[in-house]
Chains A and B, each alone.
Chain A
Amino acid sequence: GESVGLHLPTLSVQEGDNSIINCAYSNSASDYFIWYKQESGKGPQFIIDIRSNMDKRQGQRVTVLLNKTVKHLSLQIAATQPGDSAVYFCADASNFGNEKLTFGTGTRLTIIP
């Protein structure tokens, strides 16, 4: 079946450095992608989204890059802070049946002080 997954389950980054979290998707019909952050004991929190007609979108300290050719999505976090430590999920949806998202298993990001 179609799936969204992550290359690495864990990532450790020095505080102040930039981090990159990757995600691969397999559904060629996917045209909407979201990154979520989940802190321990809490629900997933929306970070940023991107539509398939875009290659890049920037938010506050975060950038999402989309490469439709290789079905790859990445989340870049600039100048990481201790509060960035969390599990990060990507999710995708297709315009047909867009009301449902498919989630990856997540990458745990640890910021080293």
Chain B
Amino acid sequence: DAGITQSPRHKVTETGTPVTLRCHQTENHRYMYWYRQDPGHGLRLIHYSYGVKDTDKGEVSDGYSVSRSKTEDFLLTLESATSSQTSVYFCAISRGGSYNEQFFGPGTRLTVL
């Protein structure tokens, strides 16, 4: 998994509770991404980061926030989880620039009851 870990790997929570997912990389890549994957949809970008403290929204950012205080860590927070946020979440990293592939972590399965 290209030096990418995600924690937790599985989580069950209740509606209205805050949830934070962590992505950690050992590759010193500049770009980090959070995606969600749902049946019938391709991977959809939630937020991404292009450097420490530099983040931007993706196509499905509502209800999510992110933070990146260190190169190696990218946190995804659901301030008040909803059932529609039940999904599998993937972190990815990239060196950035032209023609650079993204490498994915193992994923976090989140269930919001």
Q: Spell out A's residues near B (CB within 8 Å).
A: 4, 32, 34, 36, 41-46, 49, 51, 89, 91, 95, 98-106
- Quick one: closest B residue to A96, CB to CB? B98
Residues in B66-102 with C-beta less than 8 Å from chain A: 90, 94, 96-102
Q: How far is the CA of A46 from the CA of B50 in the complex (A)?
A: 21
Are A45's CB and B104's CB within 8 A? yes
Judged by DSSP, the binding face of B is loop
Are B98's CB and A43's CB within 8 A? no
Q: How big is the B interface, by class?
A: 20 to 34
Given contacts A89-B42, A99-B31, contact A32 B102 (CB under 8 A): no
B60 interface residue (CB < 8 Å to A)? no
Residues of A within 8 A of B100 (CB): 98-99
- Quick one: closest B residue to A95, CB to CB? B98
> How far apart are B55's CB and chain A's nearest CB, in angstroms?
12
Are B107's CB and A98's CB within 8 A? no
Residues of B within 8 A of A89 (CB): 42-43
Are A43's CB and B101's CB within 8 A? no
